[in-house]
Every structure is written in C-alpha cells, then in structure tokens.
Amino acid sequence: MAHLIKLPSVAADTSGGTLHQWLKKEGDVVAVGDALAEIETEKAIVEINAEQAGVLGRIVVQAGAASVPVNTVIGVLLAQGEDASAIDRALAEAGAAVQPAAAAAASAPAGNAAAACPPANCAAAPASAAAAPKAPAAASNAPVPGGRLFASPLARRLAAQWHVDLLGVTGTGPHGRIVRRDVEAARDRAPAAAPAALAGRPAARRVPHTGMRRAIARRLTESKQNVPHFYLTVDCRMDALLALRAQANQGGAVKLSVNDFIVRAAALALREVPEVNASWHEDAVEYHAGADISVAVATDGGLVTPIVRDADVKSLSAIAGEIVELAGRAKINRLKPEEFTGGSLTVSNLGMYGISQFAAIINPPQAAILAVGAAEKRPVVDSDGQLAAATVMTVTLSADHRVVDGAVGARWLAAFRTLIENPVRILL
C-alpha cells in the first residue's frame, strides 16, 4: 500500500524544517535507503532517506515552502502496481496524521498554502475555514517565525543594490515569491529624493533572519539569562609548544595547528578533572564518559560547533584531520545532527583575529567553554626574577556555577595550563 513520507525529527531540539530540495522527482523509482530530499533545519541541511521501496507518487510539500512541523506529510510513495488513486486513499485514511500539514498551511503565508496543503486534505477542510476572509495580498510574502522570506537570487541582489527593503515588497511570482519585476516596482515607488541632510547617504538595509541566526539568538540568550556564568583567566607560556609544533610539522603529511594542541589539551584536562566534564539537567548532573570537544567554527550563517569525539584518546594528527573535515562541511551546512549535538566542552579560538582576551557564552547543556586569545610576545618575570620576553596566550574559562564550583574550575584550568606549557605530555 502507499506509504506516507513524513518530515522526521533530525535532532532533539528540532521542531520542524524547510524542504531544501527534492532529490527525486514524481515518478522516480526509489530503493530502500535512497536519499529522497534534503531538509534545512536551524543548524544544518540533512538528507531524508527512504524507509521503503516504491515509486514517488506525489510531492506534497514543495522545496522552498514555509517551514513545516515534524511529522508533516511531505510526499507519498506508491508500492509496485499502485496507481494515483492510492495517493488520495492514503491521505484520507491518515486523517489526523495529515493535520500538521494543514496547520502549517493555515499559519503559512497565503501564497504558500497550496504547497503546504495536499489536495485531498484541503478538499476535506471545514467549510468555515474555506469561507474565512482572505489575508491581504501584501501578507503573502511575510516571513513566518523560524521561516524565511521567499525571493529569487536576482531579486535579492537587485534589492541590495537599489536599497529596497524586501519586507515591504509583495511577491507576484509562483507561491508569492518576490521576482525582479516586484523589486523594480518597489524601487520606482520609492520617494524621488531623500531629505537634504541624507542626500548621497546609502539607505539602511534590512536582512531577514535565517533559521540558524534565530537559533543562535535564542540559545545564547537563554544561556546568558539562565546559566550562572563565572570566569577564570590564566596566561599560558607558549614557547615550548610552538617549538614542538614547528618540529612536528617538518616534513609531516598533516600540518598541526596550535588549535589542535589546545583541543587535545582541553580533553586531557577533562580526564584529569572529570567534575568539569558534566552537564546540568533539572533532575541531575550528568557526567560524561568521553571527552568530546566542540570546536567553534565561523560560517556565513553563524557559529557552528562540530564535535571531536573522544579527543583524549586520539592523536594530534587525527584531531587535525578531523577538525579540517568537520569545519569544511560545517561551512556548507552538511554536518549530521549527531556531529554538532552534545559535547563535553567548547573551545572558541579568536587568536587568529588578533584578539588578546575575551569571555565566551556557554553552549548548553555543556557546563564550560574555553575562550582562547592570541599567542603574542610579552615581557615576563622568570622564576629567577629576571625580566624576559616570552610568547604568552591568555585563556578564559566560562563555567556554569550550578555544575562547576570555583575551585574545580581553577583545578581544570591549572591542568590545562600545565599541559600547554609542557606540550610533550599532549603527545603521550
């Protein structure tokens, strides 16, 4: 019988997503495990794989439609020998199972309702809903919470060039999409001249929030408001580590970065002070078995934190290769949910930008994040009291006081500094 393809839950904190693209067309033969479509969540683009074999009979939710909730019916897979009539039967028999799609259509822009609501379900909608007054045309392209503005790439480029705010533009393209003629019309409707005080000054440009930017804003606001942060800072002398790194990179197939040493040192410090390797939950503190280090990666859409699992038992070369591979996929939104979910502690390194010192916001449910500054030449006083020049790196640990006490955080930071200043121990 026909099989309903539903939007899966790709991560614990994901309530929905947007169909980025369909990888199969209606009428295509599908085998078990075939990639059917790509779903765009707040943090990544994830493939949906077929759980059954058959033929893709109908695409219910089109690519680029408004964000839909988990368990929404997005397509129908026909079994061998079934015809199109089986599609309507399957949708009708599903009944309540199709309701999330109808709810999504009701909250979506008017221009996207046809894409979010399958014909069989729309036909069965209550008469009162059908008789409801239509929304004004200007609302057809309004972004929905967690959604996005629908405009062609050319329209976005022209809007930026002509300083046209797309939020005030009504789309006349398919499903309310903003196209070139809409941007041109908005430009022509703009005031002929700016006030004298603003003559020659570019107009302000508004860029709608992406799903990732909304997620970052929500999570970090919750963290700063709800997690009692405290901060510990130490200076680490880097001369021995830099000399060891230079020696290791001579003729090596994998080039080690300072950050690779830092990630492994953070994991080894978690092994020495396991009280920091924990997460806060309302009913208990969870102590993690492995030292999984999240590495902050800057992308065009925002900050992503892929995880190096069991970094305390991996070699530096393995860590280096893994970070390069994960960061590369993070920048094109191709991480799997399990590759950025969880983790023991995050390392955020802004040293390459010349930042000497900063304090980072904890990434829940982790209990700590290490902010790493630049390694720079500074005057120091040696143990014999003599003034000398040394390469020094300042690091700041932000810790969750519900999980980590001040003395515990200090012990972890001391263990980390000892490893950095005696880097041969990082190799062991």
pLDDT (tens digit per residue) in 138-155:
334 544 444 457 788 778
Give the pLDDT confidence score for residue 88 in this predicted structure. 80
pLDDT value, residue 57: 87
Instruction: Record the tokens describing residue 364, joined without a space.
Output: 């829940």
Nearest residue to 60 via CA among 109, 98, 28: 98
- A 10 A CB-CB count for 65 gives 24
Domain count, the chain: 3
pLDDT digits (tens, 9 = 90+) for 186-229: 888 865 545 555 566 777 778 878 778 888 899 999 999 999 99
Rounded Cα distance, 8 and 419, in Å: 43
Phi then psi for residue 396, to 5 deg, are: -125, 125
Mean pLDDT over each residue of the chain, to the nearest integer: 83
Given a cut of 90, whether residue 108 has pLDDT beyond it is: no
pLDDT of residue 354: 95
At 349, is the pLDDT very low, low, confident or very high (cuts 50, 70, 90)?
A: very high
Min mean pLDDT across 10-24, 71-85, 270-284, 355-369 is at: 10-24
**Catalytic residue numbers?**
401
**How many whole angstroms separate alpha carbon 74 and alpha carbon 19?**
9
295 domain-assigned: yes
Tell me: do 81 and 124 sit in the same domain.
yes
Q: What is the CATH number of the domain that holds 315?
A: 3.30.559.10
Q: What does the pLDDT read at residue 142?
A: 47
Residues 6+ apart with CB under 8 A from 17: 7, 10, 39, 40, 41, 46, 67, 68, 70
> Does residue 103 register a pLDDT over 70?
no
Residue 218 domain-assigned (yes or no): no
Q: Which two tokens stand for residue 30?
A: 């599908």
Q: Which of 75-79, 156-160, 277-281, 359-363 is the least confident region?
A: 156-160
Q: Is the pLDDT of residue 307 over 70?
A: yes
Between residues 128 and 361, the one the model is more confident about: 361
Q: What is the pTM of this model?
A: 0.67
Does residue 179 fall inside a structural domain?
Answer: yes
Question: In terms of domains, do 263 and 315 share one?
Answer: yes
Mean pLDDT of 338-345: 94
- The residues that bridge with 358 in the sheet, in sequence order, are none
Residues 93 and 179 in one domain: no
Domain match, 182 and 234 both: no
In 267-367 the beta strands, taken as DSSP E runs, fall at: 278-280, 285-287, 293-295, 297-298, 303-304, 307-308, 345-349
Q: Which domain holds residue 38?
A: 3-132
CATH code for position 38: 2.40.50.100
CATH number for the domain that contains residue 171: 4.10.320.10
Residues 171 and 279 in one domain: no
